[in-house]
Structure 1
Amino acid sequence: MTATALNDIIGRRVIHIDQFIGRRLKRNIYSRQGSLLLSQNCILDHHHINLLHQHGIDLWKEDPQYVTEILTKEAVLEVQAIFEKIRYQSEQLSNQDIQEAIIPKIQQLCINNLSNVILELSKKDNYTYRHCIGVSLISYLIGKWLGLKDEELQNLAIAGLLHDLGKIKISDSILNKTSSLSADEYAEMKLHTHFGYEMIRNISEMTEQQALVALQHHEREDGSGYPFRIAGVKITLYSKIVAVADVFHTMISERTYKKPIPLYQVFEEIYNRGYKLFDSMVVHCFIMNMMIRMVGDHVILTDGQVARIVMLHSDDLINPLVEANGNFYDLRNSEHKILDFVYNQ
């Protein structure tokens, strides 16, 4: 092993390498004789693991990084397992059990490239569980941006994860219907808020605030929501946050009967209409922090040019200053507008 490789491993903890199948290596891995075994950016599979076993090489927890697609797939399977345990009452789960299964994956997704995470979570495969993860993730981020403490963030993320739990008691014919619901079908669909509230209250260690998210996430600031048409301060903070995350993920998602709305158009819609329907502090926090993370990214303008976001305006977060081919455009007062972001995967 080279001196550099030896210095790399000082002070780090060995973890059983089988846990890292599907992860991408952040550094080169050398044999004890100093020859290269695996290159940086290699995605580990069973063959690689066997090779490392043969050479007696251990990995440290810092060596591999999560790959968004694989991490999302793992999270989908975890959520599916949790819902099935609750549906069939095959195992008594607690808030702590669910946190231990999901929170580490949510935290890992949060530190990945946000545009790629959003793209991955918007796919139509396993939509129900992707939606739960997406709402949990976005709720966690909004809570973090608002300054919530760690325990609050974890409880908020689990509330977001379970916000639609009551839908397991709604008939599949309604859940999977591709045309408009009849009045009776819509009335049945709305019952998922009540069902979810009661089910979450029966899970050990869940708080009343978490249960209320299931009941209130379709309520709106102007009183136009359901099930009770409550407004303003009568809606809890967790519910206000999850309501924005729920609508955002629904809009960006692909379904068998619906194409996703381009991400920028979703931001525009929530920014322009959201202050009436949602808590203004939550909307502003969400849009501002999402757009901040897009500074430096590229967008497609209405005239077909590809531009780079240079700076946000505090008075108009979704019409930033952009640069295209050496020309700068202030989109607040320009004929040029953004169509969508250019994604890098």
Structure 2
Amino acid sequence: MILIDKTWFIGRKLTINIYSRHGSLLLPKNSILNDRHLALLESHGIELNREDTRLVTEFIVEETVSEARAIYEKIHNRKEQLSNSRIRRLVVPKIRELCANHRFSDVIVELRKKDNYTYRHCVGIAVLSYLAGKWLGLKEDELQDLAVSGLLHDIGKIKIPDSILNKPGGLSANEYAVIKLHTHYGYEMIRGLPGTTERQALVALQHHEREDGSGYPFGLTGDRIAPFSKIVAVADVFHTMLSERVYKKPVPLYQVFRELYQRAFRLFDPSVVRCLIFNLMSKMIGDSVLLSDGQVARIIMLHPDDLINPLVEAEGQFYDLRRSELKIVNFVANPLRKAE
């Protein structure tokens, strides 16, 4: 009897057709495996290989990235007059599915890959913005507009030369000035789409503005930055830090949490940052972390007054990291490990 690792294969999707020894089709490609399927294969003496399956999340992310690319190209080439409602129908169901029914760590693993980065990044911002908006109490209609805003926030970059966008080294002052123009381009392009709102267009214009006035293009501060723009700004930085680019290495997840939390009261809206980190860190309760003294500990509880220094336990000893010299270095079973 050939044993199949059910805990690994269940819930994954087949990338091939599976046939019996006599040539009859047992399971078609794209079947999502369950106990019954695995028992069937076992009864036929068929052993699956890891490469025969992919995560369902991977399929949905790839479909959404492809859709995002098609949307950007249609807007750029003006081959089809896309509207806000049309873009909603194309991508929001997939965004909602990724937010509701998939492990966040699996979604992020797929969204941080290097290939098709521009479109993968935009899908990542749509997902993170939708989640943050939901946790902040926005209504479904607002969430859908926010998701489209996140998806289109960088649409203006299609007018920026690739030689500047993908330059491995630092940008010159002139090149940086060209990069900043994508906010203006995006604003005008989104305003030209039927059914879009001013607040959606403002996301493209304002997502690089910062609470202290250090952002661009206008150096706006505080309440002069629109609420949607504040949410997308945090999502944008979060995903950018996690991702690998030609000019930067990915930042470990815990370091992203720490840096965003520390910047919250200067660069970003603290309510957005706290909401995102609290809900994401809550998903990590029970996960293992590496402490600064080399111990491996488990996250036991978050402190509302200090989200990045939780209560942890290591070998029966509890440490309140708010009052300890020990600090978390990173997650041990890192949920943002490389995709298998």
Residue among 61, 83, 92 paired with 1:94? 83
Report how far residue 36 of structure 1 moved. Answer: 4.0
**Match for residue 151 of structure 2?**
161
Deviating more after overlay: 183-192 vs 93-102:
93-102
- Give, in whole Å, the separation in 2 of the partners of 1:174 and 1:112: 35
Cα distance change, pair 38–305 in 1 and its aligned pair in 2 (3 A)? same
**Match for residue 142 of structure 1?**
132
Q: For 1:15-56, what per-residue CA distance to the aligned partner results, in whole angstroms no more than 9, with x for missing partners?
A: xxxxx95463345259xxxx94799xx99xxx99xxxxxxxx
State how many pairs are aligned.
Answer: 301
**Match for residue 62 of structure 2?**
73
**Match for residue 300 of structure 1?**
290
- Give, in whole Å, the separation in 2 of the partners of 1:88 and 1:178: 27
Answering whether residue 294 of structure 2 is matched by residue 286 of structure 1, we say: no
**Match for residue 32 of structure 2?**
24
Report how far residue 236 of structure 1 moved. Answer: 0.7
- Give, in whole Å, the separation in 1 of the partners of 2:298 and 2:292: 14
Contact 1:131 1:250 in 2 (8 A): yes
Report how far residue 280 of structure 1 moved. Answer: 1.5
**Match for residue 16 of structure 2?**
none
Report how far residue 66 of structure 1 moved. Answer: 6.8
- Give, in whole Å, the separation in 1 of the partners of 2:146 and 2:140: 10
Q: How does 1:258-273 map to 2 (within 5 A)?
A: 258-273=248-263
**Match for residue 202 of structure 1?**
192
**Match for residue 233 of structure 1?**
223
**Match for residue 243 of structure 1?**
233
Q: TM-score, normalised by structure 1?
A: 0.82
Tell me the secondary structure at the aligned position of residue 132 of structure 1. Answer: helix
Report how far residue 139 of structure 1 moved. Answer: 0.4
Report how far residue 142 of structure 1 moved. Answer: 0.4
- Give, in whole Å, the separation in 1 of the partners of 2:280 and 2:34: 27
Q: How does 1:160-179 map to 2 (within 5 A)?
A: 160-179=150-169
Contact 1:122 1:252 in 2 (8 A): yes
Percentage identity across aligned positions? 62
Name the aligned partner's letter for residue 201 of structure 1.
R
Cα distance change, pair 104–38 in 1 and its aligned pair in 2 (3 A)? farther
- Give, in whole Å, the separation in 2 of the partners of 1:98 and 1:77: 13
Contact 2:167 2:246 in 1 (8 A): no
Name the aligned partner's letter for residue 278 of structure 1.
F
Report how far residue 256 of structure 1 moved. Answer: 2.5
Q: For 1:187-222, what per-residue CA distance to the aligned partner results, in whole angstroms no more than 9, with x for missing partners?
A: 111000000000001111111110010000011111
Tell me the secondary structure at the aligned position of residue 328 of structure 1. Answer: strand
- Give, in whole Å, the separation in 2 of the partners of 1:97 and 1:21: 30
User: RMSD of aligned C-alpha atoms?
Assistant: 2.3
Contact 1:322 1:329 in 2 (8 A): yes
Cα distance change, pair 337–275 in 1 and its aligned pair in 2 (3 A)? same
- Give, in whole Å, the separation in 1 of the partners of 2:278 and 2:245: 27
Contact 2:166 2:246 in 1 (8 A): no
**Match for residue 343 of structure 1?**
334
Q: TM-score, normalised by structure 2?
A: 0.83
Answering whether residue 159 of structure 2 is matched by residue 151 of structure 1, we say: no
Structure 1 segments, 4+ long, off by >3 Å, are 20-23, 35-39
Contact 1:23 1:67 in 2 (8 A): no
Tell me the secondary structure at the aligned position of residue 275 of structure 1. Answer: coil
Report how far residue 80 of structure 1 moved. Answer: 0.8
Q: For 1:163-203, what per-residue CA distance to the aligned partner results, in whole angstroms no more than 9, with x for missing partners?
A: 00000001111111111111111111100000000000111
Q: Name stretches of at least 5 consecutive residues in structure 2 with no aligned partner.
A: 1-27
Cα distance change, pair 21–86 in 1 and its aligned pair in 2 (3 A)? farther
